[in-house]
Amino acid sequence: MPRNDIQSAVENALGPPLLLTVDQTGELTGLSRSSIYGLVRAGRLPVVHPVARATRIPREAVEAFVAELIAEAR
């Protein structure tokens, strides 16, 4: 079973991941990797390091960030 099929099966069973990679965050928001890293450096997106140097961004923080952008646009 290819990795994407396994990932889809897991998401269907467990829901979306709670911690996102920088690439997943970019895909979810439509922003580039460099933009995501810029938001992290600016303190607008928090990160956690669950294993060694792996950078993960809590899904909840991404959703809050997007909600903040929408509120600012109104």
Q: What is the pLDDT of residues 17-66, one digit of tens each?
A: 999 999 999 999 999 999 999 999 999 999 999 888 899 999 999 999 99
CATH number at residue 68: 1.10.1660
Specify if 5 maps to a domain. Answer: no
Specify if 3 maps to a domain. Answer: no
Q: What is the pLDDT of residue 34?
A: 97
Q: What is the DSSP letter of 19?
A: E
Give the structural domain span for 29: 16-73
List the alpha helices (DSSP H) in the chain: 3-14, 22-29, 33-41, 59-73
Specify if 2 maps to a domain. Answer: no
Asked if 25 contacts 34 with a C-beta cutoff of 8 angstroms, the reply is no
Q: Count of domains in the chain? A: 1
Q: What is the pLDDT of residue 59?
A: 97
Q: What is the pLDDT of residue 48?
A: 95
